[in-house]
């Protein structure tokens, strides 16, 4: 699908982004795909470092994710959570017994001085993921959600409060001091990239943290590779998660066009769902190339088809 | 069973000791029983603080222990252990999914600055244990087993190596700097104790660590209450664990009498099994009062009966 020696960089958050990353994994050689994952969702819980988006991507690319529940590991059990409840520990974050093993191993390796990049590589290796999965940064960044109930850590907003409080804005704690993951910067500054794909993830809490790591946005702007986003909004709704709700609360139309406008001049191309083709002209008027495709990824074949569409679309851009 | 305002202090290790502690719990009011537990077995594993003897006592007194397997929690599941194996983590220590919750909560509370005494009290409270369960010390003590394969941490000897290396001695790392648990010392120095019971636990790795905490042995010697040990050896064998094997390796006869001789002048009384009544005279010749009883505790009633026997025996001593 892409020229020899070329690579694709995918930026993604959790479930939605991981679906497209899986599609890309199916059609590219392992050394042709680098997936950079949001770590703004990461938090410490019961003394463990938990990286929800990295885990979702890792489990999905390993084929271990639970496709029915939509998150976590297939065949998961919950004995430990029951025991935690009996001991009066916080149980609002659903920790599965198998998932817990990931957090334990990661936390211990981090405590022993390994970087999040090294830990992620080692976990991916053990789970048979050969694609390069990178955290956006090895430094701690913690997404804070400003809401009408005050500021909440992302998982507290997302899981504990089930996205109920109305959002007024976001803050990425620690972002000024964070360095981009070194391989990411090298990739962006090199000349091997065929495409930069912004997966259909939440623009505010999944993609913005990555773009906000100092140096990343600029490097993306300066890259010769086309930057192509896939809309996380289909027919005014997000497939999963609070994207549409957040847009409404921040007085933005919950539309594909509004997402394209939000990314703005960062984008060379935008892929929106067939149902939203009436928004194509508006997006094109912003100087962004538009392509429509079936973006609702229900089956694995849907993920592969969309990934192929993204790469075909990327080849229509004359590299700057 | 004992006079009002009086208390019983039980010193114990894991499974065997916990059985007698359970018997004592059945016949005493909660405020009449203090169980002081060996913490020399404690170790750090996968970043968690694990206290095997404290957990065994706690689970047993809470009625949550697995009586068939003989250790751990009833209804335990092992999903996390499988996931740890998949991730290449050490799995020689059998971590159950429910048990893991205990280690998580304890580790986090310790990391937040709570003492092991406070953590134990809080865990016991949550599990409905109203008897006073105390660690022998709030300071770290780590039992090292000298063997023909070199020195091993206790759990490495006990679980990983399954007690196979021949033992030549023991070392309690950190013991010189350890302080006795404050309530233990206060209890030993006060005048409320009706009896001090050394449970049928391993003398070398369960009871010796407790006795070796600076000040404890002396306080025991000076206490007006009779010190009564129950033999962990029946007919030359230990019910569970490596006591008899250790004795043989250290050129001691694996007998009840050898255990009594090992405790020596610390003891006022010694209870041995009916099968070993031929050893009574030898023990009595050492100036230790002897009583025989059925000490093999198979049923809960056996535990209660033995506990009653211990307390009746204790009343035959004229307090010094």
* DSSP symbols for chain A: ---TT-EEEEEE-SHHHHHHHHHHHHHS-GGGEEEEE--TT-EEETTEEE-HHHHHHHHHHTT-B-TTTSSSBTT---HHHHHHHHTT---SS---HHHHHHHHHHHHHHHTT--HHHHHHHHHHHHT--SEEEESBSS--EEEEEETTEEEEHHIIIIISTT-SPEEEEEEETGGGPPBPHHHHHHHHSS-EEEEEE-SS-IIIIIHHHHHSTTHHHHHHH-SSPEEEE-SEETTEESSSSHHHHHHHTT--SSHHHHHHHHGGG-SEEEEEGGGGGGHHHHHTTT-EEEEE-----SHHHHHHHHHHHHHHHTTSPP-
- B1 pLDDT tier (thresholds 50, 70, 90): confident
- Low-confidence residues in chain A, pLDDT < 50: none
Rounded to the nearest angstrom, the minimum Cα separation between B75 and chain A is 9
* Strands A167-173 vs A142-147: parallel, antiparallel or unpaired: antiparallel
Q: Specify the pTM.
A: 0.94
Q: What is the mean pLDDT of residues B195-217?
A: 97
Domains and CATH numbers, chain A: 7-148+172-314 (3.40.50.10680)
pLDDT at B320 over 60: no
Per-chain mean pLDDT for chain B: 95
Residues B50-79 as b/e (b if ≥16 CB within 10 A, e otherwise) read: bbbbbbbbbbbbbebbeeeeebbbeebbbb
DSSP 3-state percent helix, strand, coil across chain B (nearest 5): 45, 20, 35
CB within 8 A of A106, min separation 6: which ones? Answer: A48, A49, A51, A119, A123
Q: Which pLDDT belongs to residue A289?
A: 97
Q: Which pLDDT belongs to residue A319?
A: 58
pLDDT at B319 over 70: no
Interface predicted TM-score (ipTM) of this complex, two decimals: 0.92
CB pair distance less than 8 Å for B87 and A111: no
Q: What is the mean pLDDT of residues B41-67?
A: 97
In chain B, which residues have their Cβ closer than 8 Å to the Cβ of A101? 80-81, 83-84, 86-87, 89
**Pick among B90, B97, B125 to test the A interface (most A CBs inside 10 A):** B97
d(CA A195, CA A259): 19
Q: Which pLDDT belongs to residue A239?
A: 83
Give, in order, the Cα–Cα distances in Å from B97 to each of A108, A315, B75, B102.
Answer: 18, 50, 10, 9
Q: Which pLDDT belongs to residue B53?
A: 97
CB atoms within 10 A of CB A169: 13
pLDDT, one tens digit per residue, over A204-250 is 999 999 999 999 999 999 999 999 999 999 999 988 889 999 999 99
CB pair distance less than 8 Å for B98 and A82: yes
CB pair distance less than 8 Å for A98 and B108: no
Give the percent of chain B with pLDDT over 90.
Answer: 94
Length of chain B: 320
d(CA A289, CA B27): 82
């Amino acid at each position: 699908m892409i020229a020899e020696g070329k690579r694709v960089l995918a930026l993604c958050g959790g479930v939605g982004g991981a679906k497209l990353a899986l599609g890309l994994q199916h059609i590219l050689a392992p050394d042709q795909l680098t997936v950079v994952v949001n770590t703004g969702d990461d938090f410490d819980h019961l003394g463990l470092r938990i990286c929800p988006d990295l885990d979702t991507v890792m489990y999905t690319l390993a084929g271990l994710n639970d496709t029915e529940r939509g998150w976590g590991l297939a065949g998961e059990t919950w004995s430990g959570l029951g025991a935690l409840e009996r001991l009066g520990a916080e149980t609002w974050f659903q920790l599965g017994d198998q998932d817990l093993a990931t957090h334990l191993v990661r936390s211990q390796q981090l405590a022993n001085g390994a970087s999040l990049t090294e830990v992620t590589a080692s976990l991916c290796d053990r789970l048979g993921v050969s694609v390069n999965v990178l955290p956006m940064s090895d430094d701690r960044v913690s997404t804070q959600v400003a809401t009408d109930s005050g500021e909440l850590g992302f998982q507290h907003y997302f899981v504990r409060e089930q996205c109920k409080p109305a959002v007024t804005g976001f803050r990425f704690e620690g972002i000024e001091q964070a360095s981009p993951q070194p391989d990411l910067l090298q990739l962006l500054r090199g000349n091997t990239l065929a495409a930069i794909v912004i997966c259909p993830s939440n623009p505010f809490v999944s993609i913005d943290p990555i773009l906000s790591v100092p140096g990343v946005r600029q490097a993306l702007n300066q890259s010769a590779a086309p930057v192509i986003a896939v809309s996380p909004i289909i027919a005014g709704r997000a497939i999963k998660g609070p994207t549409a709700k957040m847009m409404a609360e921040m007085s933005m139309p919950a539309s594909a066009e509004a997402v394209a406008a939000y990314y703005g001049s960062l984008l060379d191309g935008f892929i929106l769902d067939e149902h939203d083709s009436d928004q194509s002209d508006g997006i094109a008027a912003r100087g962004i190339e538009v392509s429509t495709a079936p973006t609702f990824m229900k089956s694995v074949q849907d993920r592969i088809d969309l990934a192929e569409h993204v790469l075909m679309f990327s080849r229509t851009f004359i590299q700057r």
